[in-house]
Chains A and B, each alone.
Chain A
Amino acid sequence: MIDRRAVLAILAAGVAAPLHAVPLRYTIDPQPVAPDLWVVRGVDAPIDHANGGAIANISILRTAAGTVLVDCGPSLRYGQQLKAAAEALTGMPVIRVYLTHLHPDHIYGAAAFDRSIVAATPALARSLETLGPSFSDGMYRLLGDWMRGTEFAAPGKVLGEDHETFGDRRLDLYPLAGHSEADLAIVDATTGMLIAGDLVFHDRAPSTPHADIARWLASLDRLGTIGHRAVIPGHGPIDPTPGAAIDQTRDWLSWLRDTLDRAVAEGLDAVEAGNLAIPDRFAALQAARYELQRSVAHFFSRIEEQALPRVDLRR
């Protein structure tokens, strides 16, 4: 027989469970891609509550001096989990966190690390002074409790050098631009892996909120000359070849530029431009329509302002 007290306890447990929902947790699952180099793959989708904003690829390197991270995810919670997972994996404390560029899915996890080990190029550090905190409202709106406690943490180390060496592992630093005002690409000299940040997307459409397509294409040309072996893109699967993901990114950006120019010339509006057919060769790219429509929002009016003639009688 179940007495009244037991019934109450059962009822209480049933009622209490939803109130104490399981805390949000990211799945941090580092995949080995080269000796002492792992990647935590982001979800190849837009930032969304379902993925907690964990959409960017994060690299983990084990060196004799300690663990090095390239980017650190979207939130304090992610940064904390990443730190624990990386240190458990390598058995070494994190001694350096590189920020590749300003976007929050790559850098808001920095709040979980000692500021002095978080590093950015001078151009990125300047850019972050004004823009760094500006993504906070949007990220909290989209991600809610995933973002709890997250505040933008400015990098404490400004990188003047063209490489850093940890133990016997040399990392060559390539300060470039185009995806944003300041993009950092890193080559791990030991393995020949290019950790490209968002200069390179792979099977995931490039995003362009701070992009300058001409500079971006020039940066891709530069990356094509450095003699790396394989590429860890900012988003999408690892490219085991030196060129496929770089070429795909270049192809999309060139197509995007030409398509929007032509749309303006033909008198299309922004809605029509965002719904133009995407060529079959981009069928493998995730989030292609989404990024095309975002790119229309980023570029279309500016192209129109340059391309459309004045028609007013005051001209």
Chain B
Amino acid sequence: MSRVASYSAAVVAMVVAAPAQAALPADPLGSPMWQRLGKSLFGDAPVRFDPRVRVIFPDIAENQRQFPVAIDARGIVGVKRILLFADLNPIPLAVDYTLGAAQPYFSTRIKLDQRTPVRGAVQLADGSWLVSGGWIDAAGGGCSLPPISRVKGDWAQHLGEVRGVARRVAGATRVRLAFRHPMDTGLIGNIPTYNLEEVVLTGAEGRRFGDLRIEASVAEDPEFALIVDALPGEEIAMAGRDTNGIDYAARLMPTTVAAPR
């Protein structure tokens, strides 16, 4: 039997031997972590690459401590969950966002520990995932440099501060939230992991807009942007919690501005 034939037979055997589990599609970005990450993030659910998941970020990682990324899946109907992850970060997942009465748009700033794929994945009602993303080059160490506020030593004085704004634009409400938090990754000597881990946005009578699960790979002083379907005059309540059990709370009353240019 030729070598090629025996290799083909082995592949066939593997495919046949695999249970009902859907195979992950080949990664267009050629990431060494794709298979492993894909399995851990998506399990057995079907996965497709789809450019309608727009993962938008700058051409240059000017600051590897805080790299802005937006995931815009407003071209896709029925998105119920959004993941943001960077394959080659020591903490690949950054945010797991479960949507309530919200549009599938999300942005934040993440740390980059090296050149890496940065991806967004959106889950549809049938459980399947649509994935997109791209490579970004970055200087090293975004996850293993001490937070600025640790160096300055003032992080505790500002813990709990939240700035924000909610703007009604063209019928939707854009919510910006900016926390003060060191977002310790646990990768710096003698400082354990300490991060904001959950942010929940609700409207009148507890109506859910969205629920963010947040990892320490989100940048220090984390910022988030979401687009929620608030009703006119409906106040937005934010309830958050960090890994030390400290609670965060804020309220935003949307204001109206002219449609963006």
- Which residues does A use to contact B, with CB under 8 Å? 46, 137-138, 141, 209, 265-272, 274-277, 289-290, 293-294, 296-298, 301, 304-305, 308-315
Contacts and interface: CB of A to CB of B under 8 A. Distances in A.
A294 B238 CA distance: 31
Instruction: Classify chain B: how many residues form its interface, as a range.
Output: 35 or more
Contact of B60 (A46, A269, A308, A309): A46
A249 to B, nearest CB: 20
Nearest to B219: A301
Nearest to A300: B68
B162 A312 contact: yes
B128 interface: no
B68 A274 contact: yes
Nearest to B165: A267
B81 interface: no
A138 B139 contact: yes
B102 to A, nearest CB: 15
A310 B66 contact: no
Contact of A272 (B70, B139, B249, B252): B70
A270 to B, nearest CB: 4
Nearest to B63: A297
Interface in B160-187: 160-167, 169, 174-178
Contacts of B169: 266-267
Contact of A304 (B59, B161, B178): B178
Given A301-B223, A312-B161, A269 B176 contact: yes
A294 B62 contact: yes
A46 B57 CA distance: 18
B163 A271 contact: no
A298 B60 CA distance: 13
A271 B70 CA distance: 6
B107 interface: yes
B59 A289 contact: yes
Contact of A271 (B56, B164, B252): B56
A253 B119 CA distance: 33
For the complex of A and B, 9 pairs with smallest distance between CB atoms: A297-B62, A270-B68, A269-B225, A271-B70, A267-B167, A293-B58, A312-B162, A308-B163, A311-B250
A304 B179 CA distance: 11
| B contact face: mostly helix, strand, loop, or mixed | strand
B59 to A, nearest CB: 6
Given A309-B163, A314-B160, A271 B178 contact: no
Contacts of A209: 62
Contact of B161 (A267, A297, A310): A310
B221 interface: yes
A313 B167 contact: no
Nearest to A315: B161
Contacts of B221: 301
B70 A310 contact: no
A271 B162 CA distance: 20
A271 B68 contact: yes
Contacts of A294: 58, 60, 62
B152 interface: no
B251 A311 contact: yes
A305 B62 CA distance: 19
A310 B167 CA distance: 15
B261 interface: yes
A270 B225 CA distance: 9
B260 interface: yes
B145 interface: no
9 contacts: A46-B60, A137-B139, A267-B167, A267-B176, A271-B56, A271-B57, A304-B163, A310-B161, A311-B252
B109 interface: yes
B160 A297 contact: no
Interface string B54-74: 001111101100101110000
Contacts of B62: 209, 293-294, 297-298
Contacts of B249: 312-313
Contact of A296 (B58, B164, B175, B257): B58
A146 to B, nearest CB: 17
A290 B59 contact: yes
B248 interface: yes
A246 to B, nearest CB: 26
Interface string B218-261: 00010101000000000000100000000011111000010011
A269 B252 contact: no
Nearest to A293: B58
Given A266-B167, A277-B261, A308-B178, 16 more contacts: A266-B260, A267-B165, A268-B174, A269-B68, A269-B107, A269-B225, A294-B62, A296-B68, A297-B58, A297-B62, A297-B68, A301-B66, A305-B163, A309-B164, A311-B162, A311-B165
